[in-house]
Structures are given as C-alpha cells and as structure tokens.
Structure 1
Amino acid sequence: VGLAEEFGKDALAADTFEIIVARVTEALKPFEDRHLIASEIDAGRVHMLGTSGTVTTLGAIYLDLPRYDRSRVDGLSIRMESIKAICANLTGLDYDSRHHHPCIGPGRADLIVMGCAIITAIRRQWPATNLTAADRGIREGLLLDMIATAASEPIEAP
C-alpha cells in the first residue's frame, strides 16, 4: 500500500516502474545475502509460491476468467514469462481500465501495479520458472499437511 500511495494509481511510465522495481530489489538483497535463495533455485530446490492479492489476481487474468474464481486459481502454476507479459500489460493501463477489469475491480485497481513491481523484482532476483498461486494462504496449507500427516500415523493404545 505504501508504494501505491507514493506513486499514485494512474498508469506508470516504464522508467517510473523500473524505479519502483529497483527500490524493491534493494529491499530484497539482505534477504538473498543471508539465505542464498538464488543458489537454491539454481539447484532446483525451490518452489515459488505466492499467496492471495496480486498473485491470485494475475492467475485469474492468466486464465482469462470472466470474474475471479478461487477454485480455478488456487494451486494454479503460472510460467514467469506469462506473469511478465501480464504485468507489462497492467502497468500500462490507467486506473479506470484496471477498476473495470472483471478480475481486478475497485478493491485492487490501485494496488495491482505495485504488486506487479514487487513480483518483477522477485522474478529478477530469484529467476524461478513458475509461480504457484495459493488463494487460501500458507498457514492453511501447512495445517492441512499436518492433519494429513497425523491422520496417516498409527494410533497407539493407551
């Protein structure tokens, strides 16, 4: 939200978008320096996952849905090249066009371009091939995984 407030909600010139991406990239560097995610991606040990917000909106646009549909988007794997193309298109749209897009609407029209800037910085910093959209969030997935693991373990008699 801070970036949207600072840079506004109108279409962004390419150089302004790149300024935002550079700022986000700078913010990511300490995390990369500490955790070396890029080398993990190179070794094939990373699955990139994005939850809610921009990622699920991009998933709905990727599927060309007439309106957002959680059941179609949750778990969708999108190639980063497709995300790049969708973000390039959205960055050039004015607020009114984003507002009236059936998968964006008024609630995200002012945030989606900044979300694209963040994803662009992430995509450049950590060049994974795909991004999986998760509508229900990581905590729900972890909880379901723990439940499934517990259910498969034998129950010991007291």
Structure 2
Amino acid sequence: MRVAGIDCGTNTIKLLIGDLPDVEVREVRMVRLGQDLDRTGRLADEALARAFAAIEEYAGLVRAHDVPPDRVRFVATSASRDASNADVFVAGVRERLGVEPEVVSGAEEAALSFDGAVRNLRTPPAEPVLVVDIGGGSTELILGTSAPEAAHSMDIGSVRLHERHLHSDPPTAAEVAAFVADVDAHLDACPVDPAAAATVVGVAGTVTQLGAVLLDLPAYDRTAVDQLVVPVGQVHELVDRLVAMTVAERRALPSMHPGRADVIGAGALILDRVLRRSGAVELVVSEADILDGIAWSLVEG
C-alpha cells in the first residue's frame, strides 16, 4: 500500500512516499516555519510563504505517485502548536494538499519518533532505548523497549534557543552559559531520565548533520550517516568546535546544509547536555525518525 507521510517541523518540512518498507521518495526542505515564533508568538508571513511553496511542490509529488488522499498524513509539530495564527497555516495546507493537517501533541510526536527510529535499527539495541529527537522548536526524550514507556516534549529546539540566546557570531561565553542554563532547567524538570537508558539513539537533522561532519564527508550521504555509532567523547569535542565557529566557517564544511549552519551549534548544545546526563558511552545516529513513524502509522492503522 503506497502511502505519503509529511512531517512539518519548526525548521524543515519532510516528505516520504513509498510502499513500505520500500521508499520511493524522501525529500526535505528547509523552510524555517518557526522564524521569530519564540519572540512574536505567531508564524511570520515570509515563513508561511516558504512553507506553502514546499507544500505545493510536495502535493505535485503525491499526485505524480498516485497516492490517494486517504493514504496521506500531514503531521505538524512544535511551531504549529505554539503559533497564535496556526489556523492560517492549517487552512493553507488543506487548500494545497487536500488533506487535513494534524497538529499533534508532544506525546504523539514522541511516540511517532520512537517508532520510526527503533524500527530502523539493524542491530538489536541494549534496552531500554532513549530516543532523542531535537527539532527546531522542541526536543523529545522517549524511553522504552518495544514501545515508548516514558516520553516528554520540551520547548527547547535549535531554532527557538538560537534565537533566544545566541546573538553573536560566534556566540560569547555568556550567551553559551545562558543557553546551557536554559537547557539544564528543562532537563531538571523532565520526567524522562536519560541516565536510565542503555542505548541512546539520536534522530533528526541536528544529529544526522553532526554525524556527517564527524565522518568528514565531502557531501551529505544519508547511507553513510545512518546507523553510525559515535563515541560520546567525540560528540562533545565536535560540539565545542562547532559552537566556537562562525556561521561562515560552519557553512564552509563540505557536508553542512546551508540552511542548518546558523542553528547547528544550538542543536548540538542540546544534544551535548542530554548525553552528559545519560551516562552513555556511544551515540547511535538514525536517519529514520518521526517521518518514518508517520508513514508506518498509515500502513498499520
């Protein structure tokens, strides 16, 4: 059964079309839907325009692959939950795609992320597994075995906290300290304890981008990045290096997506703080994430 899943986050909109487990189309567009959302509480007009352009493109791909509307699921996460004008976004999606977008709760977002990531692992992990999903507006921690047993969504993401704290290029020590204090406060209040995990799996763009930089790839290669196992010490060293770089220096890295260069330091710092609490010695990088969970939800009902 061919299905189409769309994941609309704060920084990216992603599309998967396939007759699972075979994937025919996997696309990502950097639209920065959450631009200035933390400051203004609303979706900016130019951000909506970028998002709608990507959705129109995706609608064409869905039609070209003959996916009927009842097999299309559009899931919107952090930015759409928080915006005062989310109704404008929902109406625009409905008009362009012909399906009703779902603005899911943090708990459902976490469950979809866990399913997508754990289903993808080729080597059975030591349990329990902690899935860390760092988005542009929120970060989910999901702990479980075959299914999520504890999950929590925190309003800390790479775009949100970059805009809130990291105003210099590169950021100052004081800005980084304020950033870390913000993340630590959220982790202190988080009911999911990273220290309980036997395996830590990182998903979404921050983690996969870090994997590509660690491998020193000449260009981004999702096959090389998927299932990469990285010693945690190497992750910490890379985070320190990226945070100290200017945006131009990050953008010059061969595998760096230009739309992620400004916020990758923020996402990396969030990952760094989670890993320091986990006690893990390795990080498993997964290319499969909430998008895969969305697509499988259509197959399995």
**TM class by shorter-chain length?**
0.7 to 0.9
User: Which residue number corresponds to residue 162 of structure 2?
Assistant: 4
User: Which residue number corresponds to residue 18 of structure 1?
Assistant: 177
User: Which residue number corresponds to residue 226 of structure 2?
Assistant: 74
Letter of the 1:63 partner, please give it.
L
Q: CA RMSD in A?
A: 2.3
Deviation at 1:5, TM superposition (A): 1.4
- Cα 1:36/1:107, change in 2 over 3 Å: closer
Deviation at 1:83, TM superposition (A): 0.3
Q: Residue 27 of structure 1 is aligned with which of 181, 186, 190?
A: 186
**Structure 1 segments unaligned to the other structure (5+ residues):** 148-158
Give yes or no for contact 2:206–2:267 (8 Å, CA) kept in 1: yes
Give yes or no for contact 1:22–1:121 (8 Å, CA) kept in 2: no
When you count strand as a share of all residues, which structure comes out higher? 2
CA distance in 1, matches of 2:241, 2:193: 31
**Structure 2 segments unaligned to the other structure (5+ residues):** 1-158
1:40-55 mapped onto 2 (5 Å cutoff)? 40-41=196-197, 46-55=198-207
| Bigger relative contact order (CA 8 A; separation at least 6) | 1
Letter of the 2:178 partner, please give it.
I
Give yes or no for contact 1:9–1:95 (8 Å, CA) kept in 2: no
Deviation at 1:101, TM superposition (A): 1.4
When you count helix as a share of all residues, which structure comes out higher? 1
User: Which residue number corresponds to residue 123 of structure 2?
Assistant: none
1:49-106 deviation digits (Å, cap 9, x = unpaired): 1112111111111111111100000111111100001111111110111122122231
Does structure 1 residue 93 correspond to structure 2 residue 245? yes
TM-score normalized with structure 2 length: 0.42
Q: Taking every aligned residue pair, what percent have the same amino acid on both sides? A: 32
Give yes or no for contact 1:3–1:114 (8 Å, CA) kept in 2: yes
CA distance in 1, matches of 2:194, 2:248: 38
Does structure 1 residue 121 correspond to structure 2 residue 273? yes
Q: In the comparison of the two structures, how many residue pairs are matched?
A: 139
- Cα 1:77/1:5, change in 2 over 3 Å: same
